Amino acid sequence: MKLIIDAGNTTVKIAVFKGFRLLEKETLDENQLKIILEKKIKKYASISSVILSSVSKVEKKAFLEVLKDVEVVELTKDTKVPFHNLYTTPDTLGVDRIALVASAVSKFPQKNCLIIDAGSCVTYDFVNKNKEYRGGAIGVGLQIRYASLHNYTANLPLLSPKHVDSFVGNSTENAIHAGVSLGMEMEIKAVIEDFSHKYPELVVILTGGDAEFLSKRFKNGIFVLPNFLIEGLNHILDYNTNT
């Protein structure tokens, strides 16, 4: 059995896999990590390997003692992955994006894949059918867009995401939703359209914390996979412990 630790920008996710089957997943704050890890190790005594992926400054010393009896793989630029990384600055490539690409080549072999991760940031990553990761783009995520309008202006309110159908808002709130929510939907659709013209049989994956909200505005043909990143980490862990 395998334990996955994904320390993101705002929360930490822990998942337990038996082979490639997800048994359970939990989202928690960093200060709960050591306690929850102790519980998981006790509950699943057959856990033999762990992978840690962190884009935050999670304090590893606080919980590595808990994992002293199992093999721990920390995902870095030097970790073996099942694709060719053609990024020209691998030192600055986020490990979350590495995990997403690994998930794509494992789930959709010999396919051109566009992975859209809608979280704190919205990232677009492209890997071709030859398992060559070409790079992508990084933008501002949905929640930060709403927060920025409130934090960097004097009078605009902080709103929760809401779908609107017109880019002509008839109130300040609707104008914000049009600019932020609808604007992001239009951005994503434009990126998909551009890639689809170049790669007609393109596989598009939408994941991340805001994937479910955004997916309601897209037609069929897009894979909405909320566990795509942790599944990619599981594939990388398997790739490093069984090859």
Do 55 and 151 lie in one domain? The reply is no
Phi, psi of 103 (to 5 degrees): -65, -40
pLDDT at 223: 95
Tokens describing residue 200 = 């007609």
Asked whether residue 155 falls in the same domain as residue 193, the answer is: yes
CA distance 183 to 167: 8
Structural domain range at position 192: 77-243
Among the candidates 50, 74, 98, a domain finishes at 74
Note the Cα 92 to chain centre separation in Å. 16
**DSSP labels, 46-107:** T--EEEEEESS---THHHHGGGTTSEEEE--TTS--SSEE--S-GGGS-HHHHHHHHHHHHH
Domain boundary among 20, 41, 74: 74
Q: Is 165 a catalytic residue?
A: no
Residues 97 and 146 in one domain: yes
Q: Please report the pLDDT score of residue 87 as a whole number.
A: 96
- Indicate which residue of 96, 117, 125, 210 is catalytic: 96
Full-model pTM: 0.92
For the chain, report the end-to-end CA distance as a whole number of angstroms. 16
Phi and psi at residue 38, to the nearest 5°: -60, -40
Same structural domain for residues 52 and 97? no
User: How high is the pLDDT of residue 62?
Assistant: 64
Q: How far apart are CA 204 and CA 196, in angstroms?
A: 9
The one-digit pLDDT tens for each residue of the chain (243 residues) are 999 999 887 788 999 999 999 999 999 887 888 888 888 888 998 898 999 998 877 667 767 778 888 888 999 999 999 999 999 999 999 999 999 999 999 999 999 999 999 999 999 999 999 999 999 999 999 999 999 999 999 999 999 999 999 999 999 999 999 999 999 999 999 999 999 999 988 999 999 999 999 998 887 789 999 999 999 999 999 999 876
Q: Are residues 89 and 30 in the same domain?
A: no
Residues 69 and 85 in one domain: no
Q: How far apart are CA 224 and CA 232, in angstroms?
A: 15
- Quick one: 38 and 84 in the same domain? no
Answer yes or no: do 94 and 197 share one domain: yes
Write down which residue in 74, 108, 127 finishes a domain.
74
**With left for phi above 0 and alpha for psi between -120 and 50, is residue 79 left, alpha or beta?**
beta
| Run of H or E residues at 188 | helix 183-198
CATH of the domain at 195: 3.30.420.40
Does residue 64 sit in the same domain as residue 87? no
- Do 48 and 132 lie in one domain? The reply is no
Confidence (pLDDT) at 81: 96
6 and 99 share a domain?
A: no
Domain count, the chain: 2
